[in-house]
């Protein structure tokens, strides 16, 4: 029994000791200065709370306990007394829920050196009317400004690259969004239930864009959808539930494909892609995307100004039948006949020879074989680029 007690005592001592160290390995202690509650982590301070007497306009000092303030960690959440906050410029991170449901907060002066706004950092700040981000910010966390119902304006950082899921969802009065050029990813529902989404002028043939990013399509989208030629990314679940969508056209600038973008797109049969197979391999593609990567037929090097012939349509009459097999035989026999060069490689092995004629005969005879062309070719290796679970 004594042995067990000693073991438990040692384990408890280790846990207590570990809790006194930060990620940097420095000793942490809780302190209070005036209305500010903070902890010291080595050579810096982290603002963690306010005295219950704090209210109105709050200016956070540059230092607390003689240490530079570099982070806000949950300091203002569920505070209904504070109306405005000015943060010192050396703060680099506002952590999860730091200002969440600070319901009377009307304005916030963000630090000039701020890099990241954490998950739900300002969610539920129902009196906040606007925010201006310094150009140092590169990432906005999930639901960071969600349900800020009175927010009418937001100025995003010019160096912003990542806008997480639901970041501005529920900002009912947010009507204008200017998207910085460096943004590469926008999460699902980042701007849902905003005035921007409600404005029909922001929709293009049942598809909603913000800047060079495709956010979502209405489920009534049908037939062929041609994504804007300057589109950089397609958001998670963008075409989800578009059961009448049959063809999707994507141009080369599109580098990032969100998770499950074609979920339940039961009629999607063809994807026309302006890039090559090599270009497709460079795409960053979200997880659970077989309905986009595997099921439809991919047409490569798509050019809207060039007619594309179906695989096997050797004579270019828009039919695939025995006449095409005869034309291919004549071509291989050097008869000097006219053929559609892009569809000669019927078996997709990059060589045009009698094997292609055999494959075409097999196809026309009802064998379970595939036929290809220059634009519809085998996708070897099953590599769809960096597949990530963002």
CATH architecture of 18-198: Alpha-Beta Horseshoe (3.80)
pLDDT tens digits along 197-235 = 999 999 999 999 999 999 999 999 999 999 999 999 999
pLDDT of residue 17: 43
Domain segments of the chain: what residues? Answer: 18-198, 206-306, 310-376
State how beta strands 297-299 and 256-257 pair.
unpaired
Say how far apart CA 20 and CA 41 lie, in whole Å: 9
Half-sphere exposure of 320 (CA within 13 A, CB side): 20
pLDDT of residue 4: 43
Question: H or E stretch including 129?
Answer: none
pTM (2 d.p.): 0.82
Asked whether the beta carbons of 69 and 41 are under 8 A apart, the reply is no
Tokens of 317: 């009459």
Say how far apart CA 172 and CA 176 lie, in whole Å: 11
Instruction: Please list, in sequence order, all residues whose beta carbon lies within 8 angstroms of the beta carbon of residue 126, skipping any fewer than 6 positions away.
Output: 103, 147, 148, 149, 150
pLDDT of residue 31: 87
Task: Please give the CATH topology (third level) of the domain spanning 310-376.
Answer: Type 1 dockerin domain (1.10.1330)
pLDDT of residue 100: 97
Asked whether the beta carbons of 105 and 128 are under 8 A apart, the reply is yes
CA distance readout (Å), 98 to 118, 158, 355: 8, 24, 67
pLDDT of residue 374: 87
Report how far Cα 317 is from the mean position of its chain's Cα atoms.
Answer: 42
Say how far apart CA 71 and CA 303 lie, in whole Å: 51
Residues of the chain under the 70 pLDDT cut: 1-30, 379-390
Asked whether the beta carbons of 250 and 227 are under 8 A apart, the reply is yes
User: Which residue from 216, 147, 154, 144 is spatially nearest to 179, judged by alpha carbons?
Assistant: 154
């Amino acid at each position: 029994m004594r042995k067990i007690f000693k073991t438990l005592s040692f384990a408890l001592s280790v846990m207590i000791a570990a809790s006194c160290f930060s990620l940097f390995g420095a000793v942490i202690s809780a302190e209070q200065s005036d209305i500010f509650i903070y902890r010291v982590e080595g050579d810096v301070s982290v603002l963690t709370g306010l005295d219950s007497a704090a209210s109105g306009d709050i200016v956070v000092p540059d230092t607390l306990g003689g240490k530079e303030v570099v982070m806000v960690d949950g300091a203002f959440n569920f505070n209904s007394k504070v109306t405005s906050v000015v943060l010192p410029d050396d703060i680099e991170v506002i952590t999860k829920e730091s200002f969440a449901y600070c319901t009377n907060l009307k304005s916030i002066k963000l630090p000039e050196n701020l890099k990241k706004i954490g998950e739900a950092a300002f969610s539920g700040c129902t009196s906040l009317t606007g925010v201006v981000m310094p150009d140092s910010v590169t990432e906005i966390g999930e639901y960071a400004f969600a349900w800020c119902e009175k927010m009418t304006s937001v100025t995003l950082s010019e160096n912003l690259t990542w806008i997480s899921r639901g970041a501005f969802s529920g900002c009912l009065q947010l009507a204008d969004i200017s998207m910085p050029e460096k943004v590469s990813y926008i999460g699902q529902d980042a701007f849902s239930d905003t005035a921007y989404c409600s404005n029909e002028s922001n929709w293009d043939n049942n598809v909603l864009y913000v800047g060079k990013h495709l956010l979502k399509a209405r489920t009534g989208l049908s037939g062929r959808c041609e994504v804007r030629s300057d589109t950089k990314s397609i958001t998670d679940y963008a075409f989800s539930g578009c059961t009448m969508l049959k063809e999707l056209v994507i141009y080369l600038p599109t580098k990032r494909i969100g998770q499950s973008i074609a979920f339940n797109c039961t009629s999607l049969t063809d994807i026309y892609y302006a890039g090559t197979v090599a270009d497709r391999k460079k795409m960053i593609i979200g997880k659970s995307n077989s309905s986009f990567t595997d099921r439809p037929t991919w047409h490569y090097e798509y050019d809207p100004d060039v007619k594309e012939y179906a695989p096997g349509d050797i004579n270019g009459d828009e039919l695939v039948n025995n006449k095409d097999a005869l034309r291919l035989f004549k071509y291989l026999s050097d008869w000097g006949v006219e053929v559609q060069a892009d569809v000669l490689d019927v078996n997709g092995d990059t060589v045009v020879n009698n094997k292609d004629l055999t494959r075409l005969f097999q196809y026309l005879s009802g064998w379970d074989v595939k036929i290809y062309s220059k634009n519809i070719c085998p996708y070897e290796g099953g590599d769809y680029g960096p597949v990530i679970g963002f």
